[in-house]
Amino acid sequence: MEMLLSTKGITICLFFFVLSLAAAIEIPLSVSQLPTITEQSHTQVAYPFDEDFTIKCEARGNPQPTFNWTKDGKPFDLSSDPRIVTSNNSGTFVIQNRGIISNFQGKYRCFASNVLGTAMSEEIELIVPSVPKFPKEKIEPLDVEHGDSVILHCNPPKGIPPLHIYWMNIDLQHIPQDERVSMSLKGDLYFANVEESDSRSDYCCFAAFPRLRTIVQKMPMTLKVSRSNFIKERKPKLLIPPESAGSSSSVTVIKGGVLLLECIAEGLPTPHLSWVKVTGNMPKDEPETENFGKTLKIDQVTAADEGTYQCTASNPMGRARHEFHVRVEEPPQWLKKPEGGVYSVGTNLVLLCEAIGNPEPSIQWKLNGMPIDGRTFRGRISTREISLTNLQLQDSAVFQCEATNKHGTILASANINVLNIAPLILTPDGENYATVVGYSAFLHCDIFASPAADVRWTKDDSIEPLSAFRYELNKNGTLEIRDTKKEDSGSYACWAANSVGKRAITANLDIRDATKLVVTPKNPRVLKSHSILLKCQAEYDSHLKHSFKLSWRKDGDELPVNGTEGGRIILDRDTLFISSVLLEDQGVYRCVASTALDTAEAEAQLIVLDVPDPPEDLQLSENQNRSVRLSWKAGASHNSPVNESIIEFEENHWEPEMWQELIRVPGNDTTALLPLAPYVNYQFRVVSVNAVGRSQPSKPSLRYATPPAAPDKNPENIRVEASEPNEMVMKWEPLKPMERNGPGLEYKVSWRQRGVETDWNEELVKKHSLSVRNVPTFVPYEIKVQAVNNLGSGPEPNITIGYSGEDVPDAAPSGVSVEVVNSTLVKVFWFGIPRDRVRGHLRGYKVSWWKTRSMLDGKRHHPEKHFLTFVGDRNYGMIPGLEPFSEFRLTVSAFNSRGDGPESSPVVFETPEGVPEQPRFLRILNFDKDSVTLSWGLPKKANGHLTGYILQYQIINETHEVGTVSNVSVANRSALSWRLAGLSPSTKYKFYIKACTAKGCGKAATEEGLTLAQGSKGSGRISDAVKPTPKFQPSEALEPGTEYTIRLVTKNWVDNNSIFEDVIETRGRAYAGIYEGISTQGWFIGLMCAIALLTLLLLTICFVRRNKGGKYSVKEKEDLHPDPEAQSIKDEIFGEYSDSDEKPLKGSLQSLNGDIKATGSADSLVDYGEGEHGMFNEDGSFIGAYSGSKEKGSVESTGSSTATFPLHA
């Protein structure tokens, strides 16, 4: 039901609840009360090795009780012996172990008394044992004859049980015992019949008392056994029980105890003992027999064990029997005990006392420790009940009920406190309570009152009692508020009242937010050996932060905070990190958060994934010649189902210990029919596969050998190879070991010439090849190879066509002609040779060519052959990379796998002019604010008659933005320098120079430079030619204190390596004399000679490295032959090649290359052959450099460079 809430104080009503709290709450010590025994001793043993013995008796009461003792029913004065030590306000006393203390043995009882009554303890027995000793006695030797019965008596001394008896000799070796010789429960040694080997003089009985830490020995006994003149065979006779006991006896055993029935007999031969229960059934648990069947033992005896038991001793001479009538008895036990309590004046009292036992116990009532006199007692008394009506304060007393039979006595006490007091609230006033939302709150109000008090609770300022379904008043006065809410916070009051008076206390209640937890990830699945991090996110009330604790549990067991297993599992506050996860890490991980008020839990199920365990218990069945069934038991899948099983085999003949895959079985199948090959001794194993991976292999199965059979297949890949003409080598792939099917494998090879009617030639071989000589050159043959073993032949083989050995072609191609495409490329045509002249498989044609002379200078060249091969049967090919403006000769030959045939007659052709190569260098010789003087070198190869140069320049800056390109045409083909005027001061320029022929202009050389600023002095001049003989040259008309750049160059500026440059600064006139004549100094001349020698050495090294070999990369060759025609073909055929040093600037590509004319070519890549260095693949794709002649002694240009202009005057 909903609760009504007011805007001011929240008042919720709860009706009065009348409680009987006096019986439920212990009487406060501040209230007058009867004595109550709180602690006492029970049976006490005074061991001789103890220093003292404590007899305890403690009691509580108001007034403080006094203590009295009785011993054996008589008063016992604790001050009567100085060895007794007592304590104030305590009944406990200590007996010091000095002197003779045996007089302290007895049964003690403690009495605690005050003005209201007397409490009495149970009896406390003090046992003072004596030190056990065997009496000193002289034991006469026993002389007996063979077969007689003998008893050696031990008669151990008395002592505290348990007692253990051992029979040993003087060397402490146990006397052997069996059916013939055994020890009774009393410790005597019985011989059913003696033998001569029993004779000895050191039969010793040892008695051990563990509680007394004592072992005592009896004097040794002597037994002499003499040989008898006759065999004393006789029927059994019982020695225990003795014959004097008759044929039956009675035995009493305590319920819950141990029943031991003993029969020992003598006779010859040695009797055998057996047991039966004559009346009733044997216990459900077969009774235990001990001492070679002579003792029947039943533990935990119950009433069902009552009855008659019979033992029978038997041998071939007869039987002897005895019956035991077993009676089960028990000491007294309570059915109803008198219950004490607090009673108010005018109430009635009934005390009950009932006990059972066997024999039935007697009941005796006592009042304050004394027997009740029915004549003076104002109430009613009977054996099982006492009653009093209209109790008064003076009726307060301690009633005792004692139940006794021969097996023991039990005592029960009942304190009857008759009180008339106002309520006492035992809970402190102003207690503060707190709980969390949703939990129950318990506000305590422990009350003691007589008569019983009425209790009520109010909230805040209201005087109305609380009442609602969420409020419950417990019997002890505690207010329980279930399913608390925030609005339950506030101040509460507990009121208690009876006819004598009333009391009240207050309590404060705070409601906190509940703790909440979330563990992430929720249910992770982790691969074994990987890591996992669990995070516990907690929310809790800020008031509880000091008591907040977090812990982790796995499957209910708490994980240690400091980590486990060498740091593999690490707990760090709210995180749990597990590295190298193991299978045993799988389980439920629970994060537990606790505060002073509540506990919260959140869990995550960690699932560890791993490869399956290896399969087990491999079994073979359904054995056949070519198959067998394999079955197995799957191993644990480790949370990832098995997808398939891989069955592997190993055979011990061809590849022992080499396991190979046989078949795969899908899903969870655990059986498979395995296909087998003949003549193999198999063993199998199984590997299971799941999403994680493969399991370890199972243990191998038993071996299974299949019988041999004829081959099932013939060799494959039959082919003919020959290294010589008139020879044929037939080869094939041999059968694998598993394909042999049996012993004695051979190959039956059959061959005959194709198209010729003749018989097959046959030969048996063991290897996998056969060589046949003296056969015609390159003739087709039909070939068959069949597998044969000791059990038969394989299937009929297929016929394979093969050819006998090849020879080189014996004819040259005819009709060779050349079509010039451009200055570097020609197309060659020819007529192929007849097929019968190939004398083998035609592999293709080889085109060879060599340069004979240059058309520019008419010089003859030493022939340096180059070649390209064209694969297949074709009649044309493209020859790229030729030198322009040259004369060549060319031949064509056919080739097969044996080699090249004869060459055709040479054909002479000439290549036209091409564009020149890049000029060797471009240098800036002189500069000014608006002009610059440029010089350049001749192109390395002109590739035709030079017609002039194109000089270009444009403004550039650091942002890569460029100006328009200006062109200057230098028509004088012998000019190697030029002065450009009209430039802007302090401006950076890039200059280009290209050489030209009638065919076009080649690649440009470049240089960059910065003009001088306005007003700066930077003019230069060229001195007259210096003859090489002088070692110095005077330079006049220089300004003092000015810096100059000096260059020394060859007259025609052909070779840039001869340029020498240095920066000097002239001095003022005052210091001119210091430097006069320096050029004539010896040290300066030596320095200059060293520099010249080093320069010459470097030039020599460069020259050697440049001329070593005669092969160039494609990029170098293109740099040396910048033919526009070749450039266009390269773009179409060879692909693009770029040089980062020569990339034109943005916006200048069209102006720089606008004069280059492209010429198209319809030839495809397949028109190009394979050079001597493997320039093309069979599909015509470019794969490397092609060879070309190189003029001897030439030096390769290093390309353009950038000159830096000094800007200071």
SS (H, E, C) 718-753: EEEECCCCCEEEEEEECCCHHHCCCCCCEEEEEEEE
Count CB atoms within 10 A of the CB of residue 462: 16
φ/ψ of residue 1098, rounded to 5: -65, -40
Write down the pLDDT at residue 1002: 92
Write down the pLDDT at residue 136: 85
Task: Please classify residue 281 by burial: count the beta carbons closer than 10 Å to its beta carbon, then call 0-12 exposed, 13-18 middle and 19+ buried.
Answer: exposed
Residue in this structure with the two tokens 């003749």, named with its chain if needed: 758
DSSP state of 883: P
Residue 1063 has pLDDT above 60, yes or no: no
**Rounded distance, CA 494 to CA 430, Å?**
11
Residue 802 has pLDDT above 70, yes or no: yes
Residue 522 has pLDDT above 70, yes or no: yes
Residue 267 has pLDDT above 70, yes or no: yes
Residue in this structure with the two tokens 């036990």, named with its chain if needed: 333
Hey, what are 275's tokens? 């047991």
**Rounded distance, CA 752 to CA 761, Å?**
6
Rounded to two decimals, the pTM is 0.48
**Rounded distance, CA 214 to CA 210, Å?**
6
Residue 1183 has pLDDT above 70, yes or no: no
Per-residue model confidence as pLDDT tens digits over 595-647:
988 999 999 999 999 999 999 999 999 999 999 999 999 999 999 999 999 99
Greater model confidence, 139 or 1019:
139
Q: What's the pLDDT band for 1178 if we cut at 50, 70, 90?
A: very low
Count of helix runs (H) and strand runs (E) in the chain: 4, 90
Residue 1055 has pLDDT above 60, yes or no: no
Are residues 282 and 205 in contact, defined by beta-carbon separation less than 8 angstroms?
A: no
- Lowest-confidence segment of 119-133, 374-388, 484-498, 1149-1163 by average pLDDT: 1149-1163
Residue 831, C-beta contacts closer than 8 angstroms, at least 6 positions apart: 813, 814, 815, 875
Write down the pLDDT at residue 468: 72
Residue 1026 has pLDDT above 60, yes or no: no
CA triple 837-838-840, angle to 5 deg:
130
Write down the pLDDT at residue 1033: 57
Per-residue model confidence as pLDDT tens digits over 677-691:
999 999 999 999 999
Rounded mean pLDDT, 949-962: 82
Q: What's the pLDDT band for 1047 if we cut at 50, 70, 90?
A: low
Write down the pLDDT at residue 1072: 38
CA triple 973-979-983, angle to 5 deg:
135
**Rounded distance, CA 512 to CA 468, Å?**
22
Write down the pLDDT at residue 49: 84
Q: What's the pLDDT band for 1105 if we cut at 50, 70, 90?
A: low
Write down the pLDDT at residue 1034: 58
β-partners of residue 371 are: 366
45-to-99, 104, 212, 356, 409 alpha-carbon distances in Å: 16, 11, 10, 29, 19
Q: What's the pLDDT band for 1087 if we cut at 50, 70, 90?
A: confident
Task: Please classify residue 781 by burial: count the beta carbons closer than 10 Å to its beta carbon, then call 0-12 exposed, 13-18 middle and 19+ buried.
Answer: buried
Per-residue model confidence as pLDDT tens digits over 281-304:
666 566 789 999 999 999 999 988
438-to-57, 514, 537, 1058 alpha-carbon distances in Å: 49, 8, 21, 102
**Rounded distance, CA 969 to CA 629, Å?**
95
